[in-house]
Structure formats: structure tokens, C-alpha cells
Amino acid sequence: MKFRVERDVLAEAVSWTARSLSPRPPVPVLAGLLIKAEGGSLSLASFDYEISARLEIAADVLEEGTILVSGRLLADICRSLPSAPVEVATDGSKVTLTCRNSRFNLATMPEGEYPELPKLPAVSGVVDGDAFAQAVSQVIIAASRDDTLPILTGVRMEIEDDLITLLATDRYRLALREVSWKPTTPGMSTSALVKAKTLNEVAKTLGGAGDLNIAFSEDSELIGFESGGRRTTSLLVDGDYPKIRSLFPDNTPIHATVQTGALVEAVRRVSLVAERNTPVRLAFTEGQVTLDAGTGEDAQASEAIEATLDGDDITVAFNPHYLSEGLGAFNSPFVRFSFTSPPKPAVLSAQEDASGEDREDYRYLLMPVRLPNQ
């Protein structure tokens, strides 16, 4: 095999494909990238029995062939090369990379032992990549990072006709985001539980390439994504996701609206004195919300900012990290808090102005920290 390709093109392709490589592969060959040169193109693939990635790039193919080489090492080498054409050629069990005066010899792996990549299922529908990436970024903040609860490390995708609903929770908060898409079959109804880490990677690397194809396998074991000549598949998380939609309250008699940017900054400042596991308190009254943290002999901080209140005065306390992450996910000028009572979960939603209706496409439910007098 022998081919020539620009360093920047090769480095970006190798880096993207190598993202899916497991740091501890179950068998040595799964640490490799499968590179196939034929016609006028080069295909690169990786697979770890759970996630697969594959892309094609244009290349000057002088001799067709297939090689399997260490993916992480190849990625490191490609990043270090000067910006010039790279020539890759096999020589027996070795592969040689030449770029200007740089030359590397790498050992190849037995490509015959490499497993067959899963095929991308038939496309189920198309979603705008940017909209999907934004939706994913707003939801994954609520997914659990505790691998002892694998179900909660996933994001549940619910499909009902032309609407995708993304749901995630770590038991202390819950995020829900709706995004429109175009299903290939009208009236489609299905669901899938995808690892938050995988979904985040898809959103970051495929979301900006225009339309994103989403494919669900008929056996409900696999999901695939494809955009801009790149495709990735992932096994779904196995198990029953908790019915968390019911946690959103049907009736919230108290509503408060605050300018998002001002509240983000106030929470950041007041949280500086919040010791580990101590909350930030928010006291909503007509015209303002007062934030404070710290008690007794410890450092204390307080700050008041403008707010509108519809309903009774209310004081609630939140984990400052969960509150900050939730507020950071909103890109609206205002955020609206909806309450039933201080000990019950609060629902945050987007609002375009101080007195308008809230947008229901994104909701962030946050469990309060119970105060001593509640």
C-alpha cells in the first residue's frame, strides 16, 4: 500500500477516528486504526465492540491496500508533523511515514484479526446538526457520572413523529430538551438510551457539518449517526430508564423571572464562600432576589439583583454547582423559576423577556437543599 495526502487532512481524520479507541482495549488489535486505500480515497475506521467510527478522505493512492496500525501513536505522530504532504507506504510488516525530512517506521498489526465493523442501520430521520448539538449540550449536564449506575449515565432519546425529546438525570436534577427532526417514516414512535459521553462526542464532532442522519437498528441494540462523510455507531445502554417525566409538577403557583447573565455572575460570586456541600440560598421577594451563602463564623456573602415575582415570597437553597451548570445551559436573556413550595423541586425554563411566556422546549428541574426551618 502507498498513498499521499496533506498532513492537515490526515491528522484531522486520524484524530477524529482515534477518539473512539478504548484506553484499555479488550484485545490488542482494537488499539489499531484500520486504514484502507483504494480508488482515490482513504477510509479510516476504529471499533471497540461498543463504539465504531469510520470516515473517508480524498488521497493520492499509488498502491491499494489495507493496514492496521496503533491509532493513538499514529495520531500523535500526525499532529507533530510539519504542514506538508505525507507519504505512507508499507514495507513488509512495517509502515513508513515520510513528511519532508521527518520519517517514522511503525509496526503493523494483523488486520485479519480485526473484527468486522457494524453496518450503519437504515437512516431513521434527519435533524439539523447545530440544533441537535445545542440540545445535547443542554441535557448532558444532568446525566450521572457515576458508573456504578450505568442507566443514569445515559441520555434517553424519545421519538414521537417529528419531535425528539432528550432526557437525563443524576437523581438530584433533571434536564429535558425537545428538538424537531424529519423522520423517514411519519408517525414514528421509539426510544433509545445512549451514553451521554457518546452523544456529547457526536454533537461536538458531527453537529457542525449540516444535516445529521440518525439511524436506529430494528433490534433496538444500536444507534448510528452520519454527517459530512463521517459515521459512528454505538451500542445502546441496556435497561429500563426511570419514568422521570412525572417529576415535573403539574401546577406551580409561584413564578420568578431573573436576567440570566446577572444571576449567573451573582451565583458565581456568592458561591466563593460556599464550602463543600453547603448551599446557596435564594430569597425571592417582589422586585428582587437576594442570594447568600456561608453561616456562623465562616466567610459569608450576599448579593441582591432585580427579579420579578408572581406569587408568595419564597426562600430556597440549591447546590451551587448544580445551579451554576443549569443556568449556564440557558442561552435566553431571562430564566424563569417555577415553584410549588420550598422543599419541592424547582423548574427552570427559558424566557425571552421579563414578562413573557416561558419556552417549554428546555426545562431544568433542580432538587433544593432542605433548610433547617423547612
Residue range 306-326: mean pLDDT, rounded: 95
What was the pLDDT predicted at 229?
A: 87
**Total residue count of the chain as it appears in this document:** 374
What does the buried/exposed string (b/e) look like for 3-26 if buried means 16 or more CB atoms within 10 Å of the residue's CB? bebbbebbbebbbbbbbbbeeeee
What secondary structure letter does DSSP report for 277? T
Confidence band for 120, pLDDT divided at 50, 70 and 90: confident
Q: Is the pLDDT score of 208 beyond 70?
A: yes
Confidence band for 218, pLDDT divided at 50, 70 and 90: confident
Cα–Cα dist 76/304, whole Å: 50
What was the pLDDT predicted at 92?
A: 85
What was the pLDDT predicted at 354?
A: 67
Strand partners, 168: 175
pLDDT digits (tens, 9 = 90+) for 53-69: 999 999 999 999 999 99
Among residues 145, 325, 345, the alpha carbon closest in space to that of 155 is found at 145
pLDDT digits (tens, 9 = 90+) for 24-57: 888 999 999 999 999 889 999 999 899 999 999 9
Confidence band for 176, pLDDT divided at 50, 70 and 90: very high
What was the pLDDT predicted at 210?
A: 87
pLDDT digits (tens, 9 = 90+) for 90-115: 988 899 999 999 999 999 999 999 99
Confidence band for 365, pLDDT divided at 50, 70 and 90: very high
* Lowest model confidence (mean pLDDT) among 192-196, 273-277, 328-332: 273-277
Residue 341 CB neighbours (<10 A): 14
DSSP string, 124-158: -EEEEHHHHHHHHHHHGGGS---TTSGGGGEEEEE
Residue range 277-292: mean pLDDT, rounded: 92
Confidence band for 299, pLDDT divided at 50, 70 and 90: confident
Cβ atoms of 240 and 152 closer than 8 Å: no
What are the respective helix, strand and coil percentages of the chain, to the nearest 5? 25, 45, 35
The DSSP H or E segment spanning 260 is helix 260-270
Q: Is the pLDDT score of 374 beyond 60?
A: no
What was the pLDDT predicted at 20?
A: 84
What was the pLDDT predicted at 219?
A: 81
Residue range 62-89: mean pLDDT, rounded: 94
Portion of the chain with pLDDT greater than 70, in percent? 98
What was the pLDDT predicted at 316?
A: 95
Mean residue pLDDT across the chain: 92
Q: Is the pLDDT score of 360 beyond 80?
A: no
Order of strands across the sheet that contains 85-91: 60-63, 2-6, 85-91, 94-99, 102-107
Q: Alpha carbon of 163 to those of 181, 285, 329: distances in Å?
A: 6, 37, 21
Q: Is the pLDDT score of 220 beyond 70?
A: yes
pLDDT digits (tens, 9 = 90+) for 318-328: 999 999 999 99
What does the buried/exposed string (b/e) look like for 191-201 if buried means 16 or more CB atoms within 10 Å of the residue's CB? ebbbbbbbbbb
Residue range 175-197: mean pLDDT, rounded: 94
Q: Is the pLDDT score of 357 beyond 90?
A: no
Order of strands across the sheet that contains 163-169: 189-195, 154-160, 163-169, 173-180, 358-366, 346-351, 334-339, 254-259, 301-310, 288-293, 280-285, 314-318
What was the pLDDT predicted at 47?
A: 93
What was the pLDDT predicted at 228?
A: 87
Q: Is the pLDDT score of 161 beyond 90?
A: yes
Domains of the chain: 2-113 (3.10.150.10), 125-245 (3.10.150.10), 248-366 (3.10.150.10)
Portion of the chain with pLDDT greater than 90, in percent? 76
Q: Is the pLDDT score of 205 beyond 70?
A: yes
